[in-house]
Structure 1
Amino acid sequence: MVDAEPENSDRIAFGTARARWVLAATALGSGMAFLDGTVVNVALPAMGEDLNADIAGLQWIVNGYMLMLASLILLSGSLGDRLGRRRLFVVGVVWFAVASVVCAAAPNLEVMIAGRVLQGIGGALLTPGSLAILQTSFRHSDRGKAVGAWSGLTSVAAAIGPFVGGWLVDSGSWRLIFLINIPLALATVLVTLRHIPETRDEETTGKLDVAGAVLATVGLAGLTYGLISAGDRGFGDALVQVALAVGVLALAVFVEVERRSSHPMLPPGIFANMRFTGANLVTVVVYGALGTATFLLVVYLQTALGYDALWSGAALLPMTVLMLTLSGYAGGLSERIGPRLPMTIGPLLLAAGFLLMLRIEPGAGYVSAVLPAVIVLGLGLVCTVAPLTATVLSSVEDHHAGIASGVNNAVARSAQLMAVAAIPLAAGITGDSYRDPVAFSNGFQTAMWISAALAAAGSVLAWFTLAEPQPVVREPVEHHRHCALEAPPLSSTRKR
């Protein structure tokens, strides 16, 4: 029975001083990564002009980070379970800060992409650790509220990011957006070392799945390079075809290696729980849609509507305010009624928000066109993010918290990685077309239709995969209780 709380447990109760310190450290670390993503998107047009980058260059500035995050986050989850979640979290924060300095000093596009790749490694080290720390620190009954509070607190970074990043781009330099990570990293390390105890999985044995990590990296890199390069070269180009073939082959071998390995970083059995699998399927389509829209919208507002960097980023502020104020409530509500209904309604709201973005055309006003879409998107995220995150984490036993967090983050980043590479291509946004307001407007509308369709698919998946498990019906002669009455009958998973 995996949901039972030991009587002598020293798990943290939500609302205590210890809880506030743990939330502060994990939110600061994750918020640093979220802040970086926000300000990088705001700064993309300025970076593209300064570094002479076309749309493929902008895609690589985003995807260089996503590639390493998606590829290594599973290995990082295993490392945290073995070496200590706090230790790896601290290493990731420091690594991220050093890589930020590389990005700030980048003299050309190639060095910038290299710096973003290094940032992705740091992000892969710290991201699963933050959620795993929450899962293993708080009482079972308080985890929904803790995850909701974490989601809300990290939204502060998203709320502050556009103002800070936009102001730095407009009045200073886009290079400064990477240097703001340094004081955040310092504060995170100090709070973590002082207030968070070390935890690890004492049952972990065997070797690290380095082969799996390499295959995942090669596979995702091949597909990403092929899709991005196809925008300029076309799918008939030999290099594009080789890259795509290598990507597909590497991922196919990855699946087989994980299936046969005695120590897989992606244990196949973890997907036997329908709720865990369903939550990750929802993650694929929702985060793919959201990643593309976020990538394109801020650039579109600057290119087609003439916004400066500050106001293009601030345009999304209502969305982050909604996340900040309502995520804790959404987490608690999901804890009471289950994730199925919120995660069915949430993606539908996201789809509606993407469709409302079709009204954003050159010359359109913010209040009449942009604001309604942003508000609906914010409500969709409130309904989706906290319940989804909590579902994933609570679907496995505590000692697999790092793996579960890693899997879901890898799925989310892989979805964003592929979507940012593929959807602009499908929408006809290639080369320097993002600098042409008319061409970009046409491509942006096509991309929003694709994003809306993906989000709607997420709603359907949530409805059919996240139903509450039915209790086992037994014959009258059987009087013993079976674990399946309270949890799915799997050794490595736990009920939502």
Structure 2
Amino acid sequence: MNSAVDAPAPARGSGRDNPWLTLAAVALGVMMVGLDGTVVGVANPTIAADLDASLAGLQWVTNGYLLALAVLLIVGGKLGDRFGRKKIFIVGIVGFALTSLLCALAPSIGVLVAARVLQGVAGALLMPNTLALLRAAFPPAELNRAVGIWGGSSALAVASGPIVGGLLVEHVSWESIFLLNLPLGLLAAFVTWRWVRESKDETHVGSFDLPGVALLSGGLFLLIWGVIKAQDHGWGSAYVIGFGVAAVIALVAFVLWEARTADPLLPLDLFKNRSLSAGVVLVVTGFFALFGILFFIGLYLQNVHGYSPVQTGVRLLPLTATFVVSAPLGGLLTEKLGPRVPLCIGMLILAGCFFGLTGLEVDTGYGGQWPFYLLIGIAMGLVIVASTEAIVGNAPVERGGLAGGLQSTANQLGGVLGTAVLGSVIVSGVGSALAGNLADAGVTGAAARAVEGQTELIAQGVAPVGPDTPAALAQAITDASFQSFMDGLHTAMYVSAGLALLSAIIALLVSRGHGAGDGTVVHV
């Protein structure tokens, strides 16, 4: 068992002995990243028009950022453990602010995508070290409460992002959504430099594991690239299978290398802790369901119901704004009961909500939607904080940055997989239902064949109706297209509900991080 070298700071004090100033600094950092994640989606149509971007180019504004972030998060946490979490956190904040400025000044879609990739690199330095700084600053009795506030700060940014972004795009410009990060970044960097205490792993000072970095980053890149491109090539295509096989080879090679090297990037003995391993799985499955469903509920509200991005953001407030309350509540419950109970309750609520959302129809009013959004927001607040405790609370303090990187990587990986896999499920569901729905609506012959060739467009909730289509035929195509989208969405809801139920069972394996106070890993 390993003892922590950098013991947690006292709960009360002044200056750099005050953990609440550390919480304020890291909260500003996660708010900056949270805002960036949601305001960009609102600005996409305006960016496409201003920079003459194709759909593929526009998708890479998001996917380039996610790729860089996901493959480097563990590396960012490891760098913080090795060279100082405060130091790497400040580098990440400053880098995020500067690359946001580069995004705002981008003259073309290619430059914007490149700037977003660099922004993802900066985010990978920033995010995992937020949790590590909290772990080093707070005593065990207050750590879960601090993580709850950390999660609530991120949720507040996520909740306000679509509304703030919509207002800025409408009344200022799309560039202004990136400039918003500059004052936040400067403030966060100053607070961190002035008041946050440095911490790092003093017990592991060997060489940096460059082969491990290359194998892990390469393996995750190959995996995520293959998943993203499956939408274009199909899951059974040689292209996607080839990337999948290459990813497996790289990740197996990574495990074999880590087992034999003296100074591993990701010490495999961490996973001997059952609670930590289960926590990683639960973060992936939880965010798989949440991100996938949120993406397509957004399409449902905008394309089927015809709401604007700002109107959609307002209608999703019962889900996103609830995080502000449910994340601190999750911290309190985890502090009192340990992570197992909140995780089980949260996953069961998610399963019930996803089953309930299979009742959504084309004309379902908002009154039939918002209670489910509210409950999902409550459930995710419990899941996020409790799974973070299961991972970070069961890792030694000196490996706090590594554990934070592991948690953040699982988060991003779950989100990317959820959007891509459930997207494929919806496309498949649309393809299965479309012919029958067209026939039921009275669309036959050449008109039906033309619509059947637009499966991927219909899977976004868009009816492929041309400007010269007769009104009666246009209405019939719209009805059949929307119904097919709903059929695909229902299938995705069933998949998510089943995954949430499986996650509730896995949550039974999780125990409280008994070694949180002294940095000792307790194997249970």
Q: 1:169 to 1:352 in 2, by over 3 A?
A: farther
Answer yes or no: is the 8 Å Cα contact 1:71–1:216 preserved in 2. yes
1: CA distance, partners of 2:27 / 2:341: 27
Correspondence for 1:450? 495
Instruction: For residue 320 of structure 1, report the CA deviation from its aligned partner.
Output: 3.1
Q: What's the secondary structure of 1:204's corresponding residue? A: coil
Instruction: For residue 491 of structure 1, report the CA deviation from its aligned partner.
Output: 9.1
Correspondence for 1:193? 193
Runs of at least 5 residues in structure 1 that lack an aligned partner in the other structure = 470-485
Correspondence for 1:128? 128
Correspondence for 1:477? none
Answer yes or no: is the 8 Å Cα contact 1:68–1:217 preserved in 2. no
Instruction: For residue 446 of structure 1, report the CA deviation from its aligned partner.
Output: 2.8
Q: 1:177 to 1:23 in 2, by over 3 A?
A: same
Correspondence for 1:332? 332
1: CA distance, partners of 2:115 / 2:293: 24
Letter in structure 2 aligned against 1:224:
I
2:485 paired with 1:459: no
Answer yes or no: is the 8 Å Cα contact 2:25–2:191 preserved in 1. yes
Answer yes or no: is the 8 Å Cα contact 1:305–1:361 preserved in 2. no
Q: 1:234 to 1:325 in 2, by over 3 A?
A: closer
Runs of at least 5 residues in structure 2 that lack an aligned partner in the other structure = 429-454, 464-481
2: CA distance, partners of 1:282 / 1:388: 7
Letter in structure 1 aligned against 2:336:
R
Correspondence for 1:385? 384
Q: 1:9 to 1:211 in 2, by over 3 A?
A: closer
Instruction: For residue 208 of structure 1, report the CA deviation from its aligned partner.
Output: 1.7
Correspondence for 1:219? 219
Letter in structure 1 aligned against 2:41:
N
Answer yes or no: is the 8 Å Cα contact 1:304–1:361 preserved in 2. no
Greater shift, 341-350 or 441-450, is seen at 441-450
1: CA distance, partners of 2:313 / 2:424: 24
Correspondence for 1:436? 462
1: CA distance, partners of 2:59 / 2:252: 25
Instruction: For residue 440 of structure 1, report the CA deviation from its aligned partner.
Output: 4.2
Q: What's the secondary structure of 2:306's corresponding residue? A: coil
2: CA distance, partners of 1:356 / 1:487: 39
Instruction: For residue 344 of structure 1, report the CA deviation from its aligned partner.
Output: 0.3
Instruction: For residue 139 of structure 1, report the CA deviation from its aligned partner.
Output: 1.5
Answer yes or no: is the 8 Å Cα contact 1:128–1:409 preserved in 2. yes
2: CA distance, partners of 1:299 / 1:178: 24
1: CA distance, partners of 2:200 / 2:4: 19
Aligned positions of 1:320-359 closer than 5 A = 320-359=320-359
Instruction: For residue 260 of structure 1, report the CA deviation from its aligned partner.
Output: 2.2
Q: 1:435 to 1:349 in 2, by over 3 A?
A: closer
Answer yes or no: is the 8 Å Cα contact 1:352–1:376 preserved in 2. no
2:425 paired with 1:426: yes
Answer yes or no: is the 8 Å Cα contact 1:27–1:153 preserved in 2. yes
Listed one character per residue, the Cα deviations across residues 5-47 of structure 1 (whole Å, up to 9, x for unaligned) are 99x9742339999333221111000111111112223344555
Instruction: For residue 272 of structure 1, report the CA deviation from its aligned partner.
Output: 0.3
1: CA distance, partners of 2:173 / 2:206: 48
1: CA distance, partners of 2:321 / 2:231: 36
TM-score (norm 2): 0.82
Instruction: For residue 125 of structure 1, report the CA deviation from its aligned partner.
Output: 0.1
Q: 1:91 to 1:292 in 2, by over 3 A?
A: same
Correspondence for 1:151? 151
Q: 1:368 to 1:420 in 2, by over 3 A?
A: closer
Q: 1:239 to 1:152 in 2, by over 3 A?
A: closer
Bigger radius of gyration among the two: 2
Q: 1:261 to 1:414 in 2, by over 3 A?
A: farther
Q: What's the secondary structure of 1:427's corresponding residue? A: helix
2: CA distance, partners of 1:456 / 1:107: 47
Correspondence for 2:26? 26
Instruction: For residue 203 of structure 1, report the CA deviation from its aligned partner.
Output: 1.1
Letter in structure 2 aligned against 1:466:
V
Q: 1:361 to 1:217 in 2, by over 3 A?
A: farther
Instruction: For residue 397 of structure 1, report the CA deviation from its aligned partner.
Output: 1.6
Instruction: For residue 114 of structure 1, report the CA deviation from its aligned partner.
Output: 2.4
Greater shift, 161-170 or 139-148, is seen at 161-170
Instruction: For residue 229 of structure 1, report the CA deviation from its aligned partner.
Output: 2.7
Correspondence for 2:473? none
Answer yes or no: is the 8 Å Cα contact 2:147–2:331 preserved in 1. yes
Instruction: For residue 432 of structure 1, report the CA deviation from its aligned partner.
Output: 3.7
TM-score (norm 1): 0.87
1: CA distance, partners of 2:283 / 2:13: 27
1: CA distance, partners of 2:234 / 2:266: 34
2: CA distance, partners of 1:5 / 1:203: 7
Answer yes or no: is the 8 Å Cα contact 2:42–2:166 preserved in 1. yes
Instruction: For residue 377 of structure 1, report the CA deviation from its aligned partner.
Output: 0.4
Count of equivalent residues: 475
2: CA distance, partners of 1:103 / 1:78: 27
Letter in structure 2 aligned against 1:419:
G
Letter in structure 2 aligned against 1:461:
I
Letter in structure 2 aligned against 1:125:
L
Percent sequence identity is 36
2:87 paired with 1:87: yes
Correspondence for 1:493? 521
Instruction: For residue 141 of structure 1, report the CA deviation from its aligned partner.
Output: 1.4
Letter in structure 2 aligned against 1:450:
V
Correspondence for 2:450? none
Answer yes or no: is the 8 Å Cα contact 1:156–1:324 preserved in 2. yes
Answer yes or no: is the 8 Å Cα contact 1:394–1:495 preserved in 2. no
Listed one character per residue, the Cα deviations across residues 420-477 of structure 1 (whole Å, up to 9, x for unaligned) are 23221232187544261525444333323222222222111102x11569xxxxxxxx
Structure 1 outlier segments of 4+, above 6 Å: 1-6, 14-17
**Over aligned residues, Cα RMSD in angstroms?**
3.0
2:373 paired with 1:374: yes
Answer yes or no: is the 8 Å Cα contact 1:400–1:492 preserved in 2. no
Q: 1:176 to 1:201 in 2, by over 3 A?
A: same
Answer yes or no: is the 8 Å Cα contact 2:22–2:192 preserved in 1. yes
2:98 paired with 1:98: yes
Answer yes or no: is the 8 Å Cα contact 2:9–2:19 preserved in 1. no
Q: What's the secondary structure of 1:428's corresponding residue? A: helix
Answer yes or no: is the 8 Å Cα contact 2:427–2:456 preserved in 1. no
Letter in structure 2 aligned against 1:100:
S
Answer yes or no: is the 8 Å Cα contact 1:275–1:391 preserved in 2. yes
Correspondence for 1:409? 408
Correspondence for 1:244? 244
Letter in structure 2 aligned against 1:446:
T
Correspondence for 2:476? none
Letter in structure 1 aligned against 2:393:
S
